Amino acid sequence: MKIRSTTILTVRHQDVVAIGGDGQVSLGDTVIKADAVKIRRLLDGQVITGFAGGTADAFALLERFESKLKDHPANMPRAATELAKEWRTDRALRRLEALITVVDAQHTLLISGTGDVIQPTDGVLGIGSGGNYAVAAARALVGHSTLSAAEIVRASLEIAGDICVYSNGNIIIEELACKN
């Protein structure tokens, strides 16, 4: 699924996970809004989500995910799997066009409507039209700098925003301490 209109990036580095997103909302080739917030804290701040794709679709999915988190508060991967199963099989939900990434102190996950729940090996995950640019920048910075996770996310999103016409430099970043 090719989602245009944003860049969301997560990075696990130095015992911190950071997730950030740009603020651009596009309708076709037109920028409609430059300062949208696509990063949300759930479960009293224990889980942070980011979304790419249709805003209404993403909010519907985030509401469902929050409900799954309440059903499985100590097991975010289980909540993600339950959402992915419902998203794939429910007639109304499977029409939703969005991707979400979720992080907690232990996990970074991508959840898609095709039933995917994927955890990246290196803790770096990007979604949206600028996601691949941001991931490439983040991987280079993780391996070759002393920047913090949040600094890597910001620098990578700025690079992606300079390349991807569906992303901008209005960046929101949230962080969580990781559990060892």
What number of residues does the chain have? 180
- Beta carbons of 7 and 168 less than 8 angstroms apart: no
**Burial profile 73-88: b = 16 or more Cβ within 10 angstroms, e = fewer:** eeebeebbbbbbebbe
In whole angstroms, what is the distance from residue 105 CA to residue 118 CA? 16
> In the sheet where 124-128 sits, what is the strand order?
124-128, 7-13, 16-21, 172-177
Pull the structure tokens for residue 108: 């970074």
Rg (CA), the chain: 15
Q: In which element (H, E) is residue 48 found?
A: strand 47-53
Q: In which element (H, E) is residue 53 found?
A: strand 47-53
Confirm whether 81 is a catalytic residue: no
Residues annotated as catalytic (active site), given as ranges:
6
